[in-house]
A = this chain, B = another copy of it.
Amino acid sequence: MSLTPRRKQPEKVRRDLLDAAARIATRAGVQTVTVEAVSAEAGVTKGAFFHHFPSKQALVAAVFHDLIDRLDAYLADAIAADPLPHGRFTRAYIHAVTEPDAGGSDGLWIAVYFATLSNAELRDGWRDWLAGRLADHAEDGPDIALQTARFAADGIWLGMISGSGPAPDDLARLRAHLLALTLPPSQ
């Protein structure tokens, strides 16, 4: 690990491009994510961009999968740390979606929205991913209370990224309430 920086470091450039795209989407909105803007933000030229990605679409897909992977890792950890089986997945999902910096860097979730909603192909990818996770935790699927809690988390997330979300202390109350909803019926 030499201190003299490697002059060519393709992996880092590729990573920088991915991060730059997410950062720009977070900072200035979806429509400002252009190939040139991403390249400039990463400190590189368009030529380099198209060396690493065959198209802008490919970059978007890469950002998407990158975040999906992060989300998967977060969920797996949270589920493993949860001693109560019932509603595990839903609780982890609530945390991941509701805490802005759950997946790593802050606000990166806006990029998920950007990738997901603005593109039909990735929209299907998101749907399939969610269906897959629900299949992995089949017991969380049909339960109507858990379903409701997950949709409420989605709604809160939508509010957060669209600026009409709850105030911070309201958010904490809501999260606690949603988590309470995931507990088994107190029969």
Contacts and interface: CB of A to CB of B under 8 A. Distances in A.
Contacts of A152: 148-149, 151-152, 155
Interface string A121-132: 001101100110
Interface string A92-133: 000000000000000000000100111010011011001100
Contact of A144 (B29, B31, B174): B174
Contacts of A173: 144
A148 B174 contact: yes
A186 B155 CA distance: 26
A155 B151 contact: yes
Contacts of A153: 151, 155
Contacts of A162: 116-117, 123, 126-127
Contact of A151 (B30, B124, B159, B163): B159
A54 to B, nearest CB: 20
A150 interface: yes
- Copies of this chain, complex-wide, total 2
Given A152-B151, A155-B153, A158-B154, A127 B164 contact: yes
Given A151-B152, A156-B151, A174-B147, A29 B163 contact: no
A46 interface: no
A29 B156 contact: no
A28 B113 CA distance: 18
9 A-B pairs closest in CB distance: A154-B155, A151-B155, A155-B155, A127-B164, A152-B152, A151-B152, A123-B163, A148-B152, A151-B156
20 contacts: A30-B118, A31-B118, A117-B117, A117-B161, A117-B162, A123-B162, A124-B163, A126-B162, A127-B164, A130-B164, A131-B164, A148-B177, A151-B151, A151-B155, A151-B174, A152-B152, A154-B155, A154-B159, A155-B156, A155-B158
